[in-house]
Amino acid sequence: MAEPGALLLKLPVDGEIAAGKVRGLAPQLGALTAAGWIDARKDGRVVMVRLTAAGVDERARLERTAAAPRPKRVAATKAPAAATRIAALEAQLAALTARVTALEGAGRPALLDVATIADEAALRATIAAVVAELDANGRLGGLVPIPEVRAELRRRGVGATDAEVTAALEALERAWTIDLSVAQAPNAVADRAAGIERPGRGLLYYVARR
């Protein structure tokens, strides 16, 4: 079965095409529509699809990726995951240092809050690493469902509550580490309650790494 993202390369940039003319597209219509990459409509018994603006952008990104020189296979296994963890931990350490400095500058006893800050930083670093691994291992095309992130954290024994995980995801987005993407068809997702409902934005359901 074709990867959902790869199917975008088979669709025209302008105009519609019958879904049946693109091999492997029909089983992925739901995922591509939920990601906001295509619009689909029925014309009699034929399903017609068209790339959305987001789909055109994603198609262009995939073309650039395909055209880029592929890295040597020597560092294709554990190195990317390790590099991701190190980068995330360094970013969280810098944020922790800045917050402690700010507390000290305001004349507040920084030691009272360091443990909480450290726990929050560790949770954010863990989430960033989990997102990277789920994306790589599941070949998800850059969009990792938030329910899968929550489930993986539970499997690893992370004791954070759903509210704490939500807060950490939003903090990572504010730090420009990730993007939280909306579900284009909120009523069609598998686990809506595990997403993040936000007025004005809709149902945040996917995590995309920057």
Distance CA 90, CA 8 (A): 35
The predicted-structure confidence for 55-71, as pLDDT tens digits, reads as follows 899 888 988 887 777 66
- The CATH code of the domain at 4-67 is 1.10.10.10
Helix, strand or coil, per DSSP, at residue 178: strand
Which residues are CB-neighbours of 201 under 8 A, at least 6 positions away?
A: 182
What's the mean pLDDT in 22-48?
A: 87
Sheet holding 46-51, edge to edge: 17-18, 46-51, 38-43
19 vs 74: which has the higher pLDDT: 19
Q: Given pLDDT bands bounded at 50, 70 and 90, which one contains residue 26?
A: confident
Provide the percentage of residues in the chain whose pLDDT is more than 70. Answer: 83
Sorted by where each begins, the domain ranges of the chain are 4-67, 73-209
Q: Given pLDDT bands bounded at 50, 70 and 90, which one contains residue 155?
A: very high
Query: What's the Cα-to-Cα distance from 147 to each of 27, 107, 131, 166, rounded to whole Å?
Result: 21, 41, 11, 11
Q: What are phi and psi of 123, to 5 degrees?
A: -65, -45
What's the mean pLDDT in 41-58?
A: 90
Query: What's the Cα-to-Cα distance from 1 to each of 6, 23, 60, 133, rounded to whole Å?
Result: 11, 9, 22, 21
